[in-house]
A and B are shown apart, each in its own frame.
Chain A
Amino acid sequence: MTSRQIYWYLAPALLFTVVFFVFPILFVMYVDLHEWNGLGAMKFVGLDNFRFLFDDPSFKTATVNTIYWILAGIFLHTPLGLLLALILFKKPRGWKAFRLLFFLPNVISTTALAFLWYFVLHVSLGLVNNGLKVAGLTSWTHAWLSDPGTAVFANMVPFVLYVGFTMVIFLTQMSTISPDMYEAADIDGATSWQKDRYITIPLVKSAIGINIIFNTAFCLRMFEYPLLMTNGGPADSSLNLSLYIYREMITANRYGVSMAAGLVTILLGAVAMLLVFGVLRIGERRGLR
């Protein structure tokens, strides 16, 4: 059933892939070997840009912070989404409304949430610190966003808490589980935790995988929270790779360095994805039990 006409259906996708993926990769691998300010001629400098990166403490912070982000995505955001889905799956009163409300932050944009949480965590007028004061916990108040020790984690708070999208993916897969399974478990006298543990969670394994992959990709690209909540500061302590790439290009005009950092990000992404896939495959073989 082969037909020459089929190639017409392939052509647009091929064109876009070449323009937006194949060419950019080659371009990145070319520019990162050059010193370039984006305007004049490129000057070949070999691996100097990579040497620059490895001598730059800010780049090290950015890489470590990006890994923190990915870990938060896998070990905090995804389990919280699963927890909320398990609860709403039991259809408590009003669960439909809760589902809509928990999904809401996903449609009003990360930029808006970053703006909002900048103020929620603001040292003097913020909701968190003032709430602590009202609760009599004045000693717990903290300059969350301007202390180098907490800034990167303060940036993650809205991401970790707003799990609507992850939750909906879980709920979707849960809705395909046959009710017979639960009826059988009820006859055997299973508790609701046992039903979660031995029926629901094993049957949403593929949703766990999908969510971990989505969230890893999302964290690798994270830009809005570090930019708007702390602008990478104080003293670059909350910088991540996206912001580093952006800054080297836009502010420092070091296009070569920026793209060297871009290549490192791509490689880090490849390693992260291989690890995630590897672990998921081992989990699959062991049946997650």
Chain B
Amino acid sequence: MKGFRWLVIVLFLLVTLVPFLWLILASFKTSSELFSAPFKLPEHWSWDNYRSVLESHPIPKYFFNSLILAVSSTILAVAIATLVSYAFMYKFKFKPGLLLLITFGIFIPTNAFLVPYYFIVNWIGLYDSLAGVALVYAGVSLPLSILIVKTYMESIQHEILEASFIDGASVHRTFFNVILPISYPGMTTASIFLMITAWNELLFANLLTQSEGTRTLQVAIRFFLSTFSANYPVAFAAMVIAVLPTILIYSLLSEKIIGGLTAGAVK
């Protein structure tokens, strides 16, 4: 039993790590070395591939575009989700119907909305801008954010609202001073989901942007294969540079990221 467990762990470690190590190794090779001896260590470790990538592509710029998109769309969606979740702590007309309306989107494969999203973003004049993509990301992920934040807020005792009103607080004050401070775990979970999804997204970023100034990391990676098709090791170097900052940030925050999921994923 113990042997089987370790076998599974080692197999998963192999498929997770070996491809990355191989990629890093290959990024130091020359093209002919890569084809003649794919497993050998490079004959001399040279940074030439890395230099030619950094000279030809503004990868830090792509990285920041992705980061800005992930952060801004997440803040927007979580803010809206938190507001509406607060509203759902009260009784009002058409409540069940409204809840259905704002959460049915969870079950919609939004890749079906390619054409409408393209035109909506064009009509509001945000084509080829990060703001346009951020709006779409926030819109697409809103139903899931609402579900996560709302589920968390429902666990809050309703007596706390009444107590706050007895103390003479208004609806707005109660939100800012009482509900908001204790809703952070739900908001954090939603934020982690959304940040990872937005960071990973390719389809809409590719559809809604055009120029190099608005290109995200994922869109850029998509083009590595074609721009460096004559010289794979350079493409590998581009890839390493592109994912390195992510791995660095993750290695610093991994416990927070996974912990955030842990805080509220169980509903």
Contacts and interface: CB of A to CB of B under 8 A. Distances in A.
B139 interface: yes
Interface in A150-208: 161-163, 168-169, 171-173, 175-176, 191-193, 206-207
B209 to A, nearest CB: 13
Given A1-B91, A2-B91, A134-B39, A207 B266 contact: yes
B111 A28 contact: no
Contacts of A220: 109, 111
B181 interface: no
A127 B25 CA distance: 12
Contacts of B117: 20, 24
A246 B116 contact: no
A3 B108 contact: no
Contacts of B98: 10, 14
Chain A contact residues: helix, strand, loop or mixed: helix
B163 interface: no
A17 B116 contact: no
B199 A245 contact: no
B232 A107 contact: no
Given A109-B218, A262-B115, A83 B8 contact: yes
Interface in B70-125: 79-81, 83-84, 86-87, 90-92, 98, 101-102, 104-120
Contacts of A90: 5
B237 interface: no
Range class of the B interface residue count: 35 or more
B17 interface: yes
Nearest to A86: B5
Contacts of B161: 1
Interface in B98-156: 98, 101-102, 104-120, 136, 138-140, 142-143, 146
Given A103-B254, A262-B111, A269-B107, A16 B80 contact: yes
A28 B113 contact: yes
Interface residues of A, number: 96
Given A27-B116, A92-B9, A109-B217, A270 B107 contact: yes
A3 B116 contact: no
Interface string A47-89: 0000000000000000000000000000000000001100100
A13 B102 contact: yes
Contacts, number: 261
Interface string A112-144: 100111111000111100100010000000000
Contacts of B138: 16
B1 interface: yes
A175 B91 CA distance: 35
B242 A112 contact: yes
B9 A87 contact: yes
A258 B84 contact: no
Contacts of B262: 168, 171-172, 175
Enumerate the 4 nearest inter-chain pairs by beta-carbon distance, A residue then B residue, closest first: A20-B139, A262-B112, A24-B116, A13-B84
10 contacts: A3-B171, A21-B139, A31-B115, A168-B261, A173-B266, A206-B267, A221-B203, A223-B203, A246-B203, A262-B115
Interface of B: 1, 5-6, 8-9, 12-13, 15-20, 22-23, 26, 34-35, 38-39, 79-81, 83-84, 86-87, 90-92, 98, 101-102, 104-120, 136, 138-140, 142-143, 146, 161-162, 165, 170-172, 175, 196, 199-200, 202-203, 207, 217-218, 221-222, 224-225, 232, 235-236, 239, 242-243, 246-247, 250, 254-255, 257-258, 261-262, 265-267
